[in-house]
Amino acid sequence: MITQAKLWISQWVPSWALEVGLVLLALAIAWVLHTLVMRLLLNVIEGHNGFVSHSLRRLRSPSRLAVLFLTIVLILPAANLPRDWRLLFQHAALVMLIILIGWSLHIIVTVIADRASRRYRLDDEENLIARKFHTQIRVLVQCTRIMIFLITAAAVLVTFDEVREWGVSLLASAGAAGIVLGLAARPVFANLIAGIQIALTQPIRLEDVVIVEGEWGWIEEITSTYVVVRIWDWRRMVVPLSYFIEKPFQNWTRRSSNIIGAVVWEVDYTLPVEEMRSKLDEFARESKLWDGNVLNLQVIEANSTTMTVRALMSARNSPRVWDLRCEIREKMIAWLQATYPQSLPRQRTGLQMMENWTGPVPPLPGRDFAGMEAPEAPGGRAAAGPG
């Protein structure tokens, strides 16, 4: 019956237009079927907030395109189109189908990472476990995306006969071209390996406090090729991912965010250290920034004019310990100014009186009084001396 209908329609319509119309009809039927099936599935899982529901909603567009290109691949062999047309359309549809599969895998990986990350919040103050987990998830997701891209690109290139033959000859020769290709891909694989190392060993994590190239800041973002460090004055430092594997740096929150800060004063020897120690304890207990763990005051150095007093104090994280240091420093200086102003740093000069001296009075440096003449008085006469 379908054949008779095609013969009857071909009397008024060219054969190639008829075949194209049949392909478009098949695509329309596939579109409608996909829409109905997706609507049915979404109605079934309505109200659910699980992995399947999120994946279906995110995969609606790529799955629709995949169904359409799969329909083209299946229907074209049965269509009575020119051979070149069929091969061209089939190859294009196959390439798009491979790309859509890679896109779908990318979406599934993203959904898994998003759902896994929701269980750990980074805005909590004690977020060490959350930072570990988020760092692992982000780095592994970046590495997985790179692998999906490389596999998808390789699968697309293999569909071309010329590329496939070139790849076979390259593997067979294993000569200079292979070495050049390996050297060209070295940065990509170096960052990929560095990303896997960071995900497993975790020398850095998100929101870690680090000192890199003399700059103090937080790890803000970790990608597949670089790391963004948010510096304290809102600047951003972009560092290659391999830097944190190959070069030394400081990580202040490797095990815990708690940290010790120091404040140093130069004071006079007349200052009572024990009273200053008591005042430090009073200031620390009044502060909301001190975590109650470490508090100490010691004289760490002394020279000919002053002594150096250092106070150690701890806080939950580096921003709090910075504010605590500034607060203690300001309060201690105010206390010294009000209570012991004479104990602030100063220069000493000593004068010693010589009693019962019977010898001659030494002349002032650079003066010789023995050969000096009396100054002349006005009018040309010498001035009379005393007596």
CATH at residue 327: 3.30.70.100
| Dist CA 333 CA 263 (whole Å) | 11
Domain boundary among 118, 153, 168: 118
Residues 2 and 111 in one domain: yes
Q: Which pLDDT score is estimated for 280? A: 95
Cβ contact 244:234 at 8 Å? no
Q: Which pLDDT score is estimated for 56? A: 78
Domain with 95 in it: 1-118
Residues 208 and 149 in one domain: yes
Domain boundary among 118, 152, 182: 118
Q: Which pLDDT score is estimated for 181? A: 57
Please report whether residue 372 resides in a domain. Answer: no
Please report whether residue 201 resides in a domain. Answer: yes
Please report whether residue 357 resides in a domain. Answer: no
Backbone conformation region of residue 259, classed left if phi is above 0, alpha if psi is from -120 to 50, else beta: beta
Residues 234 and 281 in one domain: no
Residues 113 and 3 in one domain: yes
Please report whether residue 379 resides in a domain. Answer: no
Please report whether residue 384 resides in a domain. Answer: no
Q: Which pLDDT score is estimated for 138? A: 83
Residues 88 and 4 in one domain: yes
Please report whether residue 11 resides in a domain. Answer: yes
Please report whether residue 329 resides in a domain. Answer: yes
Q: Which pLDDT score is estimated for 215? A: 92
Q: Which pLDDT score is estimated for 48? A: 66
Residues 5 and 113 in one domain: yes
Domain boundary among 194, 227, 256: 256
Residues 96 and 177 in one domain: no
Q: Which pLDDT score is estimated for 80? A: 67
Q: Which pLDDT score is estimated for 386? A: 43
- Tell me the average confidence (pLDDT) per consecutive run of 10 residues in the chain, 387 residues long: 53 60 80 85 72 77 82 73 75 85 89 81 68 81 85 84 65 54 66 78 87 92 88 92 88 86 93 94 94 93 91 92 95 94 76 61 52 49 43
- Which one, of 313, 262, 269, 311, lies nearest residue 292 by Cα? 313
Residues 6 and 108 in one domain: yes
Please report whether residue 52 resides in a domain. Answer: yes
Residues 226 and 314 in one domain: no
Residues 268 and 250 in one domain: no
Split into its structural domains, the chain has a count of 3
Tokens of 330: 């300001």
CATH of the domain at 182: 2.30.30.60
Residues 114 and 2 in one domain: yes
Residues 55 and 108 in one domain: yes
